[in-house]
Amino acid sequence: MKKELKQIVEPIVKWYQKQEKTLPWKQDKEPYHIWVSEIMLQQTRIEAVKKYYTRFMKELPTIQDLAIVQEEKLLKLWEGLGYYSRAKNLKKAAIQIEQEYDGKLPTSYTQLLKLSGIGEYTAGAIASISYNEKVPAVDGNVLRVVSRVLASKEDVLLPETKRKVTKKLLEIMPDEPGDFNEGLMELGEKICLPNTVPLCEKCPIQEFCIAYKENLTNEIPVRIKKQKRKVENKTVFILKYKNEIAIRKREKTGILANLYEFPNVIRRNIRR
């Protein structure tokens, strides 16, 4: 299995290095830029992130600016990206960096993991891209690519599967860990697509992909969803007086904490 994965390293690195770096956060390897972009890219498509990243960096060009920004301004800059806890954790980590790391992002994977909102994937991305540390950065794109290369039927939604993939990649990290990690991510984003037919004819590692050879790309990766989403039915009130509309601030904890909303109540089923 290590041999199968080892074969994909050189083709992916070479393929990635030939790609045109047009995205704003790929113009340099500044740790702050990589950090903010990777947090924004979680749960969000690249095309949607571009304008938010540019606006964010214009308003908060340094970690110091992020550490002192008012929360309402921060959330306004984040408005439309969703998952607002990501923005709040950015500010918490920025304060932590100011207080504990002299205003500079830590330079190692293990130290990065100590920051608020930075998990294994983000720490791996920053450490490999900005500091050339030989650590993987495993996100959904990487899980999909590796699962298809190995024709693995393990559930990619399980933490254990992610740990196994991370361990396998750690054993084959090249001298260009950032290019390899970004290559894997970009391959999943552009070619080894989810929920549709992957563009295998354009894939630089097609010859090493077992799922392609065995016609299993529509079955892999395996995802077994176990939890249903909680759905709340609400009655929303639009209260308007002349040119003014009533809004209220949400609670300090829970989903969309501290954001504004129209007044509303949970709608109960009424038995007749």
Catalytic residue among 4, 10, 20, 38: 38
Cis geometry, peptide bond prior to residue 221 (ω within 30 degrees of 0) = yes
Q: 9-33 burial, b if ≥16 CB within 10 A, otherwise e? A: bebbbebbeeeeeeeebbeeeebbb
Residue 176 annotated in active site:
no
Alpha-carbon span 20 to 18, nearest angstrom: 6
Residue 12 is encoded by which pair of tokens?
Answer: 């992916």
**Active-site positions?**
38
